[in-house]
Amino acid sequence: GMTEIQGTQYGDIFPTSFLGGSTTAITGKDYLRTEDGEVIIGEDGYPKINPTKSALIGNREPLFQAGISTTFRYKNFKISALFDGRLGGDVANITARSLWSNGMHKALEQYRGRQVVWEGVVDNGDGTYSPNTTPIVLDYSTITNYYSAVSSNFIEDGSYISLRHLTLSYDFTSLVNKRSPITNLSVSLTGTNLFILTKYTGSNPMINASSDAGGTGSGGIDNYAVPTTRGFNFSFNIGF
């Protein structure tokens, strides 16, 4: 019977739900690996790709997520802040994958044409493995067939801490003449999305491929989505 339901396809990456299990999995191409997770390398120095159409390569569900709001007052000043963050939750960086495939990724400036030894192990044929020592050249064919073609290379940790909102305000009401019809007078400056701390290499780990994707949703799918923008707003408030 059916054991998994795959959502909208992004290349060979699928948001996937497993019946009786995770509803936020990511499946796609991966290398052949040892039980310890090391990539198995052929005698020619190239990694071996798992022939399975869709291997489990990630999970978009975070281990923990939270938000904290705080307000600090001193005389007529007030500072309010909202922080949020999460621990875990994989992101499929399809944008980066496309840039690698098209030869436009910034990392290619230092890797293209270099001779490297692919990190992994070689099967000795007797159940044991030895570290790979055979060099290969990172030409266009190698990059497209052995790197950008393998989805698991673009699954990243989506952990982050973000300052979503910060507002600084000053209340002038106490300085207004009591005979004045003004009952409230204040100014404030608000910044949104001021900073984010994350190891994610894409635009934003909170990215969502689209709001109307089918299947198991598009959270944790970075597919050329427009990133969150930083903004500032000044307000002047007066009441009578």
CA–CA distance, 92 with 157 (Å, rounded to integer):
9
pLDDT for residue 89:
92
Alpha helices, H only, 140-228: 140-142
CA–CA distance, 198 with 187 (Å, rounded to integer):
33
Show the beta-strand stretches assigned E in the chain: 4-6, 14-18, 25-28, 40-41, 55-59, 64-74, 77-87, 90-93, 115-117, 121-123, 129-131, 135-137, 155-157, 160-171, 184-198, 221-222, 231-239
Ranges in the chain, pLDDT < 70: 1-11, 19-21, 209-218
Residues contacting residue 173 through CB under 8 Å, at least 6 positions apart: 182, 183, 184, 185, 186
Q: Are 124 and 130 in contact (CB under 8 A)?
A: yes
What is the reported pTM?
Answer: 0.80
pLDDT for residue 1:
46
Instruction: Quickly count: other Cβ atoms within 10 Å of residue 158's Cβ.
Output: 27
pLDDT for residue 210:
56
- Domain containing 147 equals 4-239
CA–CA distance, 153 with 147 (Å, rounded to integer):
7
Q: What is the pLDDT of residues 148-187, one digit of tens each?
A: 999 999 999 999 999 999 999 999 888 777 778 888 889 9
**What total number of domains does the chain contain?**
1
